[in-house]
Chains A and B, each alone.
Chain A
């Protein structure tokens, strides 16, 4: 596997100041290890965000350094692992034959499953992480729901009867803030690493036979040029920040997750945590995450996209030495 380190990017410090009254959200926070903070620590963090100087010196738009590895799980069609300080996840993609969706007979399918490992947080013990896993899988599926994200037509084998189904399994190993961002990054890297074996279709009508090629290197890759990345923008105090750690997440009043592709289009959104975002602040929330086309080094999104399929990036991967002719899910 190739290991790429992505450093903390520089950004223009442009704090966005608003004088509107902001409610301190008290809604249910999904999946946060209960961490107490004193009111003085909260004030310190909020004032830091207002001055665009966070606890570790980052600006509101800076991501922490993270590392992406592909080809980490051997018996998958593609896999990736992302580590961002104390958040990490492993994703495995398995391509299997299945029936297409009856409403879209000429397309393949992609299905997501997220497992929050018990070692990530005490509240995931037993079945505690199930609800959160469903929620995260739902958000990932929403991000990839539009047909433009993946060329599903290329996944079709026999229209209406057989197609490739991509089962994307995500394992959250550590929970340290910015989890959805890390998951979407890992999913994109794993899809980049995925190799779909070439098929030989013989016969016609009733007597159609599908043969999977025995040569492990005889495979095609997926085009993820339009696959999105989810960037979570969190409102702390008066400003919006990206990539919060656990302490900052406790001070957040609301949170917006945007699935954005490299072309700058927002494919899906979701909002978390009880506090409200005044409508006139929405533009600025989005701006923190993805605009400013002129300076690519300032755009977290483009930076992340390039990290995943950067120059000479992950095309090598680990050559999978064994090819499973039985495409079961075990």
Chain B
């Protein structure tokens, strides 16, 4: 494995003036090429750039993301996905209740807040990336939609491994959605399976708690344990995917859930996950 050239902001990358500067670099006053972010130097022919270790999420088409609705606008919602710009969820990109395929009417526009309101969490897929880098999302599949009772964790997006499947039903009885944007959603398994169409029917507005999804104490403990395992993996800067989470979870069985918050315990339970990739 070749050694990585790591730089910090302000480090001189090279004094050779023949290179073109890419992202993450700048020319200092005396002509040297200096890094402006902390990251790894990448050289492609005569172009030098620095890939930052931690940055906001830059979406690709087809990525699964977990986002939070921050604004309701005309015919679309603005979603926070930890990107540089807020992502967009168009009214035409969601599944209407009943699974009907029809044109969105003016009535639908007025009912937008009953579908998704500010603060709601959704799982969605990136449909399109605009020229300014912002994302357009869609929830046009039964597996996407509003997320209900569970726990959200934010991790650096660079730690999330790109997989074919981001919806995992863990062996311990909880379900985990690892969004490419670093938002990880943990909930109990029953909630995901039975409640696929997570939007209310049109004639029942979203003001009443229709069916209160009860989470048992065991499920709550499992969710808390998974949460602490994921935090431990993040603290050790290990890649996050279903196998690493499962290994860490198994290694954590000897400890109480709240003991997993200790640093020495975190170090121990993430040992099995270090050797896989």
How many interface residues does A have (CB within 8 Å)? 24
CB within 8 Å for A48 and B220 given contacts A8-B262, A57-B228: yes
B142 proximal to A (CB < 8 A): no
Interface range, B side: 20 to 34
Binds B, one of A35-43, A175-183, A309-317: A35-43
B149 to A53, Cβ gap below 8 A?
Answer: no
A65 to B215, Cβ gap below 8 A?
Answer: no
A296 proximal to B (CB < 8 A): no
Q: Which residue of the partner chain, among A7, A43, A57, A62, contacts B224 with CB atoms under 8 Å?
A: A57
A8 to B261, Cβ gap below 8 A?
Answer: yes
In residues 1-46 of chain A, which contact B (Cβ within 8 Å)?
5, 7-8, 36-41, 43-44
Number of A-B contacts (CB under 8 A): 69
B150 proximal to A (CB < 8 A): yes
In residues 226-277 of chain B, which contact A (Cβ within 8 Å)?
227-228, 231, 256-263
Binds A, one of B92-100, B106-114, B118-126: B118-126
A134 proximal to B (CB < 8 A): no
A47 proximal to B (CB < 8 A): yes
A138 proximal to B (CB < 8 A): no
B220 to A36, Cβ gap below 8 A?
Answer: no
A65 to B68, Cβ gap below 8 A?
Answer: no
> How far is it, in angstroms, between the C-alpha of A59 and the C-alpha of B224 when the chains are bound?
12
> How far is it, in angstroms, between the C-alpha of A278 and the C-alpha of B260 when the chains are bound?
35
Chain A residues closer than 8 Å to B27, beta-carbon distance = none
Q: Which residue of the partner chain, among A39, A41, A51, A57, contacts B256 with CB atoms under 8 Å?
A: A57
> How far is it, in angstroms, between the C-alpha of A55 and the C-alpha of B231 when the chains are bound?
12
> How far is it, in angstroms, between the C-alpha of A8 and the C-alpha of B261 when the chains are bound?
8
A204 proximal to B (CB < 8 A): no
Q: How far is the CB of B206 from chain A (nearest CB, A)?
A: 9
Q: How far is the CB of B254 from chain A (nearest CB, A)?
A: 14
A57 to B152, Cβ gap below 8 A?
Answer: no
Which residue of B has the minimal Cβ distance to A42? B119
B119 to A39, Cβ gap below 8 A?
Answer: yes
> How far is it, in angstroms, between the C-alpha of A84 and the C-alpha of B166 when the chains are bound?
32
Q: Which residue of the partner chain, among A5, A41, A56, contacts B152 with CB atoms under 8 Å?
A: A41
> How far is it, in angstroms, between the C-alpha of A270 and the C-alpha of B239 when the chains are bound?
44
Q: Which residue of the partner chain, among B121, B215, B262, contacts A38 with CB atoms under 8 Å?
A: B121
Chain B residues closer than 8 Å to A39, beta-carbon distance = 119
> How far is it, in angstroms, between the C-alpha of A36 and the C-alpha of B224 when the chains are bound?
21
CB within 8 Å for A56 and B262 given contacts A40-B149, A51-B220: no
A64 proximal to B (CB < 8 A): yes
Q: What are 27 A-B interface contacts by the 8 Å CB criterion?
A: A8-B261, A8-B262, A36-B70, A36-B118, A38-B120, A40-B147, A41-B121, A41-B152, A44-B149, A44-B215, A47-B215, A47-B220, A51-B217, A51-B220, A53-B220, A55-B224, A56-B228, A57-B224, A57-B225, A57-B228, A57-B257, A57-B258, A57-B260, A57-B261, A59-B258, A65-B262, A65-B263
Question: Which residues of B approach A to under 8 Å, CB–CB?
Answer: 68, 70, 118-121, 147-152, 215, 217, 220-221, 224-225, 227-228, 231, 256-263
Additional pairs, 10, CB under 8 Å, beyond known A5-B263, A56-B228 = A39-B119, A40-B148, A40-B150, A41-B150, A41-B151, A51-B217, A53-B224, A55-B224, A55-B227, A65-B261
Q: Nearest 9 CB-CB pairs, A to B? A: A57-B257, A36-B119, A57-B224, A57-B258, A40-B148, A44-B149, A38-B120, A58-B258, A38-B119
